[in-house]
Amino acid sequence: MPAPNDFFDRLLGATADRLLRHPGKILTAYLALAAASGLAAWRWLQFDTNQDNLISNEQEYNRRYLEFLKEFGDLEYLYVVIEVKDLPTAMRLADRVAEEVSGLTQHVDKVFYRVPEEFARRSGLLFLPEELLRRIAGFLAEHQKEVQEFLAVESLARLLEFVSSRLDARLAEADPELAGLALEGLEKMLAGLEQAAAGEPAVSQEEARGISAADLLSRLTEPPLKDLLEKGPWKSLVPRDLLQQAAGQGYFYTGKLLFVQILPKKNFETLEVIREPLRAIREVLERIRKDFPGERIGLTGRPALQADEMETTNRDMTWATVLAILGVTLLFMVFFRALRRPVLTGLVISIAITLTFGIVTATVGHLNLLSIVFAVMLVSLGTEFGIHIIARYQEELHHTGDLEKSLRSALLTAGKGNITSATTTAAAFYTSLLVDFKGLAELGFIAGTGVLVCMAAMNTLLPVLLLFTDRWRLPIGKLAPVRIRFLALSADRPGWTLPAAAALLLAGSPLLRTVHFNSNLLELQAKGLESVVFENLISEKSDFSTWYAAYIADSVDEVRRLVSQLRGPEFQNVIGKTESVLDYLPDDQERKLAAIRQIGANLKPGPGGGKETGGQAQKELIDIDKFSAALEALLDRFDSFLSGALRSGGEGARVLERLTETIDRIAQKVQEDKASARERLSKLQSSWLELLRSARAEIEPLLDPLPLALDRLPQEIREHVVSRRGKFLVYAYPKENIWYEQNMERFIQATRSVDGRVTGVPEQVYESTRLMKRGFILAALYSLVAVFLLIWIDFRSLLFTLLAMVPILLGMLWLLELMPVFNLAFNLANFFAIPIIIGCGVDGGVHIIHRFREDRSAAIATRSTGTAVALSFLTTITGFGMMLPAHHRGVASLGGLMVLGCFTCLVFSVVVLPAILRLVERRRYHEVR
Amino acid sequence: MKSVDGSAALFLAVLSGLSAAPEPRTQAAEKPMVFIQPGYPGTTEEARGFVSSFCKVIRQAGGPEVPAGEYHNDEKEGLKAAQEKQPLFGIVSLGFYLKHAGDLSLQPLLFSSPAEPFHLVARKGAFKDLAGLKDKAVTGTTLLELEFVERILFGFADQGAAPAGGPREWKVQPVKLFSRGYREVAKGRQDAVLMSHREYQGLKQLEAAKELEAIHTTRSYPVAVVVAFGERLPAEQQAKLSAALKSFGKTAEGKDLLQTMGIDGFTDADLKYLKALAERYQKNAPESAAAGKKAPGA
């Protein structure tokens, strides 16, 4: 053992003296401090789980985002996503969800899922293109006679006559596809007639009342209406998204999905910010699913994703911590062949972590989403200091049998190594204070301080505890230290070891090109989570997204300019939907109102027509003879078509055959029993006329719209697009899935090119990610520099400093080469493993070099300290390895990276470095000899 | 769902004047052409577009300039039109030709091709042969030209004619629409239906065909004859007309028109053959005429 000749030697010597003389006071002091720290943390330590607070307010993009939040409030919604199979059913589902969730007033601030019905009803037509309105008005004027005829239909017989006469002219003139659609519609109508004639229920009056214009509108995006509108003469006037909007009737409908937006109440003072609201909403959905068994409905949105992520990581980290403690304890027992040592080490670690909590409470005052994991880190990082103390202590005790001398020796040797190791590790963490990422800086400060506290505790409290317990009963027989004998082999054969290591590194070098960073945060989440599944569904099945770029505008003109640019052709593949006050304030209202009034005038029944239907028709029985005659005329028409088709060899004859058969059957039924037919068909007539009446009643408000102005918008719409101070919000949704980096990049560039003041979650995530990546890389570089400097200060030798860096430098290189082999990529969850690996990796080199300089023997350094270093790495590997089975893929990748990084550093610490030291030993010390 | 086939819709569309060509009304000074085909579907009004297209294609093919025409599927109306409108030429059914060739001085120019038989169709297993139809109800559009049916289709001994047999033994119930006819038989409301070969081929694709079978097939005859009315159309124009009609199969529009008519094209009329038919027609005439048996509704 070298003589105490430097500051640390003197400090450690004095510390050892004090420990041995006043162990009770030391223990009492630690326990008192721990108690005070624990109490203070329990009382005052806060949890800040707001991701927005991870970034400094001074960052320009964050400042803009905070201003946006201040202006418009929290607009980060939860989304209930309904996959639409049948639109009316999906709408009913949405109504039910909205109704029940709105009742959760203690958990929910706002529910927004459709434009208010009254608003849609009164103003719906104003949102149609002016050209379309004029064409409709023109069409109705041109076909005034037919329209009036239709409006005058007051019986089934007249309806059949109307259809028959239209077939005469229209079907013959029509496009074959349209003709087919018309016939399909007719087939359905006749099927209804046949059922009614046979006494089977076709459409009851109740059903007729329930089949509203809304139901009909909702069918606009389904065949046959969809085909009719997309293929007919209207196709150039009816843009696809308009059909969808009309069908959606103000619901949040994107064609395949329907959404209900929910703003939950958020409590940022708890870890689970929206746990209770989420639980309550999910209970509601579970209940609703039972009533709608065939429907697919789920909850997602950034708050849900974050909450699910938090829950998953909490669960994973809890299990990982428990398993880590068990695993490390087992490892200890195997290495030290005693239970007492790991128990004492665990006790010291617990006290050290409690002290760290106290320091955090007094300084930072809170834990954030990154720093919250520091405790788990310290279990792994702090334990190794204890390992070195215990290993050296047992080795000395085995040789000398003197407890106090052994403790003193352990402190002066391993304790010194611990100081170097702890300061370098802490320095690696503290370098994150230099980067522009507040969350990471806090983690760096807390973790670095925690490492120092752990080291101090292991260097002071652990020896005290060893003193107490071993004084009581000294386990002499079991003190023989475990040796990993084969480690010495590498030290003895540098001619094999070093070329093999070089070859290994060289062989893996091509793989360096494949190392990459995966920015997709969704791919970090656990698979199969409802929020993740439905987030992906939204990307797959719509051009909507739960994130959006946001622009704040001062005037409607500015909104118009922004929207116009966002909808430019150069962005059509990147920017999807936009939303703004313009969506609720249509242009050219005066001209549209004129066209709508004209439509209304053309739809008014003429004199003698449109007499009160429904109520009156209910009382009247059908004129069965007139009905039969109309049916006969219809049959004649179809027989004429069918005969022509058969003569000319047309295949479409089958459809016509079905129609003629149906009409014939109806006619036969009527003839067989006119009285019964009269009664049954009268009911049907009443139902159909009621249907017509309700349709007319629903259409009437549309034809008398109120001009729209800002002050007439319903409150829920206003709040969505205008702030209290009168600023306007423009939303721009990405068309592509921006969970992928390249798509995000394109979206950000596009939105920024429209206006550089853009903000929103995509900007936040993009910049934060960029900042974090840059921060981690810079932190890693600074760590390496800091570590180098500190080791150099300790060793005062460039050679030994470089040698101490070998495990970390070459270990990191080999890690990068092995990552692609194990399908590992860097991501935002595992990137901060780099500073940890630097801290851990350098420890091995520092301790080996310390021991080598002490004994001037690579073999001794390897066999004794090498074993401790190996155990130290193995505890870290065990600790982080328990993250590998985590459900959260980010946590699992962190575990994977740590395990692989520690393994590579371990190999270079205890296999390669000793081989190099052997050469140095031969050259330096054997020459001297 | 199956859309109406293009050909059926085309028939309807063309029949109803979908053609871009204008639909000039026949003026007294202009001589039209006529279609006289009893039992065919559609109305004069609905067929305006078809006739207009027909005339246009004739013109385009180098045929005579015919501004317009008329279509009639009723014998009486067709005859009236032929007498009053002084058409230059026409396309008439074989039955109409045989009946009115003398009255109207019809000059046969072309036959429709191919010649096709007629079929007597009944429910499966109902009748073994024609004899079973004695006093049974027989329907079909062809029966609108009862003389043709009695004297030609069933006018030969090997075709079921007998001094007191054949159509004269049936309860004849002609219909104006073919589909009515087969449907009445399929439903059991009539016993048999007489139909053209095209109608028979068309019937095969229907569900009703599963319940029906042909119990007798006649010899083959041209379903239509292209005729000139007297001397109104000069020989040179007749030649041009014939050439134009024979070229219908070479253009898309012509083919469509032929398909609508239910024929493949036109060939030169076989005058000897026609003469033989006319002789047969006359030979078989007296008994039916003397018996005063008129087809109801004809």
* pLDDT digit string, tens, across residues A368-417: 766 767 777 787 788 889 988 998 898 888 888 888 888 999 998 889 88
The DSSP H or E segment spanning B268 is strand B265-268
Nearest-by-Cβ selection for A660 from B15, B183, B198: B183
Say yes or no to pLDDT of B105 above 90.
Answer: yes
Say yes or no to pLDDT of A1 above 50.
Answer: no
Say yes or no to pLDDT of A567 above 70.
Answer: yes
B198 CB neighbours in chain A (<8 A) are 646-649
A177 CB neighbours in chain B (<8 A) are 3
A184 touches chain B (CB under 8 A): yes
* pLDDT digit string, tens, across residues A570-620: 999 999 889 999 988 888 889 999 999 888 888 877 665 554 444 444 456
Inter-chain contacts counted by CB atoms under 8 A, chains A and B: 152
Q: Can you tell me whether residue A729 is helix, strand or coil?
A: strand
pLDDT at A553: 95
The DSSP H or E segment spanning A506 is helix A494-508
Question: For testing the chain B interface, which of A171, A226, A640 should be mutated: the one with the most B CBs within 10 Å?
Answer: A640
Q: Closest approach of chain A CAs to the CA of B186, in angstroms?
A: 11
Residue with the bigger pLDDT between A141 and B18: it is: A141
* pLDDT digit string, tens, across residues A494-542: 888 899 999 999 999 999 999 888 888 888 888 888 999 999 899 888 8
Question: For testing the chain B interface, which of A647, A656, A668 should be mutated: the one with the most B CBs within 10 Å?
Answer: A647
Residue of A nearest to B186 (CA): A661
* pLDDT digit string, tens, across residues A737-778: 899 889 999 999 999 999 999 999 999 989 888 887 887 788
Give the pLDDT mean for A326-346. 81
Where, residue-wise, is CATH 1.20.1640.10 in chain A? 7-51+307-514+766-928
B46 CB neighbours in chain A (<8 A) are 168, 172
Nearest to A585 by CA among A452, A767, A443, A713: A713
Taking CB atoms and an 8 Å limit, are B12 and A661 in contact across chains? no
B7 CB neighbours in chain A (<8 A) are 645, 648-652
What percentage of chain B exceeds 90 in pLDDT?
Answer: 59
Taking CB atoms and an 8 Å limit, are A179 and B15 in contact across chains? no
Residue of A nearest to B262 (CA): A648
Nearest to A148 by CA among A136, A132, A162: A162
Residues of B near A (CB-CB distance < 8 A)?
A: 1-13, 15-18, 40-43, 46, 141, 177-180, 183, 187, 196, 198-199, 201-203, 205-208, 259-262
Residue of A nearest to B255 (CA): A648
Report d(CA A368, CA A54) in Å as an integer: 7
pLDDT at A362: 93
Report d(CA A591, CA A15) in Å as an integer: 92
What percentage of chain A exceeds 70 in pLDDT?
Answer: 86
Q: Closest approach of chain A CAs to the CA of B257, in angstroms?
A: 10
What are the CA-CA distances from residue A641 to residues A783, B13, B242, B252, B258 (Å)? 88, 11, 30, 22, 17
Averaged pLDDT of chain B: 83
pLDDT at B173: 93
A642 touches chain B (CB under 8 A): yes
Nearest-by-Cβ selection for A639 from B2, B177, B202: B177
Give the least confident one: A5-14, A417-426, A887-896: A5-14
A711 touches chain B (CB under 8 A): no
Q: How many other CB atoms are there within 10 angstroms of residue B198's CB atom?
A: 18
* pLDDT digit string, tens, across residues A39-60: 998 888 877 666 666 666 677 8
* pLDDT digit string, tens, across residues B128-185: 888 889 999 999 999 999 999 999 998 876 666 655 458 888 999 999 998 999 999 9
pLDDT at A48: 67
Say yes or no to pLDDT of A319 above 50.
Answer: yes
A179 CB neighbours in chain B (<8 A) are 3-4, 9, 12
What are the CA-CA distances from residue A873 to residues A388, A472, A484, B238 (Å)? 11, 31, 14, 110
B13 CB neighbours in chain A (<8 A) are 172-174, 176
Q: Closest approach of chain B CAs to the CA of A676, in angstroms?
A: 23
pLDDT at A171: 57
Q: For residue B248, what pLDDT band results from cuts at 50, 70 and 90?
A: very high
Structure tokens at A688: 């159909």
Taking CB atoms and an 8 Å limit, are B205 and A183 in contact across chains? no
Q: How many other CB atoms are there within 10 angstroms of residue A567's CB atom?
A: 13
Which domains are assigned to chain B? 6-115+222-280 (3.40.190.180), 118-220 (3.40.190.10)
Q: Which residue has the tokens 């004695």?
A: B134
Taking CB atoms and an 8 Å limit, are A649 and B7 in contact across chains? yes
Give the least confident one: A168-172, A681-685, B172-176, B204-208: A168-172
What percentage of chain A exceeds 90 in pLDDT?
Answer: 26
Report d(CA A894, CA A892) in Å as an integer: 5
Residue with the bigger pLDDT between B58 and A230: it is: B58
* pLDDT digit string, tens, across residues A886-917: 888 888 898 899 999 999 999 999 999 999 99
Residue A368's φ and ψ, nearest 5 degrees, are -110, -175
Structure tokens at A22: 């006043």
Q: Closest approach of chain A CAs to the CA of B23, in angstroms?
A: 15
A652 CB neighbours in chain B (<8 A) are 2-9
* pLDDT digit string, tens, across residues B275-291: 999 999 988 876 544 44
Q: How many other CB atoms are there within 10 angstroms of residue A476's CB atom?
A: 11
pLDDT at A745: 94
Report d(CA A500, CA A493) in Å as an integer: 11
Report d(CA A900, CA A837) in Å as an integer: 10
pLDDT at A286: 93
Q: Can you tell me whether residue A407 is helix, strand or coil?
A: helix
> For A521, which DSSP code?
G
According to the CATH classification, is domain A7-51+307-514+766-928 in 1.10.1060.10?
no
Nearest-by-Cβ selection for B262 from A171, A641, A647: A647
- A844-872 exposure pattern, b = at least 16 Cβ within 10 A, e = fewer: bbbbbbbbbebbbbbbbbbbbbbbbbbbb
- State the ipTM, two decimals: 0.81
* pLDDT digit string, tens, across residues A703-724: 888 888 888 888 888 888 999 8
Cβ(A349)–Cβ(A343) below 8 Å? no
Highest mean pLDDT among A220-234, A735-749, A834-848 belongs to A735-749
Residue with the bigger pLDDT between A182 and B88: it is: B88
Residue with the bigger pLDDT between A558 and A689: it is: A558
Where, residue-wise, is CATH 3.30.70.600 in chain A? 75-119+257-300
A660 CB neighbours in chain B (<8 A) are 179, 183
Report d(CA A890, CA A520) in Å as an integer: 10
A513 touches chain B (CB under 8 A): no
Give the pLDDT mean for A262-290. 84
Residue with the bigger pLDDT between A274 and B123: it is: B123
Taking CB atoms and an 8 Å limit, are B202 and A645 in contact across chains? yes
Averaged pLDDT of chain A: 83
Cβ(A692)–Cβ(A667) below 8 Å? no
Report d(CA A528, CA A887) in Å as an integer: 10
> For B230, which DSSP code?
T
Q: Residues near A276 by Cβ (< 8 Å), separated by ≥ 6?
A: A107
- B253-283 exposure pattern, b = at least 16 Cβ within 10 A, e = fewer: ebebbbbbbbbebbbebeeeebeebbeebee
Q: Residues near A14 by Cβ (< 8 Å), separated by ≥ 6?
A: none
Looking only at the bridges linking them, the beta strands covering B89-93 and B118-123 are unpaired
Report d(CA A527, CA A886) in Å as an integer: 11
Q: Closest approach of chain B CAs to the CA of A128, in angstroms?
A: 30
Give the pLDDT mean for A416-440. 83
Class of the A75-119+257-300 domain?
Answer: alpha beta
Nearest-by-Cβ selection for A643 from B177, B207, B261: B177
Cβ(A592)–Cβ(A130) below 8 Å? yes
> For B294, which DSSP code?
P
Q: Closest approach of chain A CAs to the CA of B16, in angstroms?
A: 6
Report d(CA B176, CA B298) in Å as an integer: 9
A656 CB neighbours in chain B (<8 A) are 4, 8, 179
A644 touches chain B (CB under 8 A): yes
Taking CB atoms and an 8 Å limit, are B4 and A180 in contact across chains? yes
Residue of A nearest to B223 (CA): A647
Report d(CA A556, CA A713) in Å as an integer: 14
Residue of B nearest to A180 (CA): B3
Taking CB atoms and an 8 Å limit, are A652 and B3 in contact across chains? yes
Q: Can you tell me whether residue A87 is helix, strand or coil?
A: helix
Task: Please name the residues between 222 and 241 in chain A that touch chain B, using a CB distance below 8 Å.
Answer: 224
Report d(CA A230, CA B13) in Å as an integer: 21
Residue of B nearest to A179 (CA): B4
Q: Residues near B235 by Cβ (< 8 Å), separated by ≥ 6?
A: none
pLDDT at A644: 82
Residue B33's φ and ψ, nearest 5 degrees, are -115, 165
Question: For testing the chain A interface, which of B2, B3, B180, B259 should be mutated: the one with the most A CBs within 10 Å?
Answer: B3
pLDDT at A620: 65
pLDDT at B293: 44
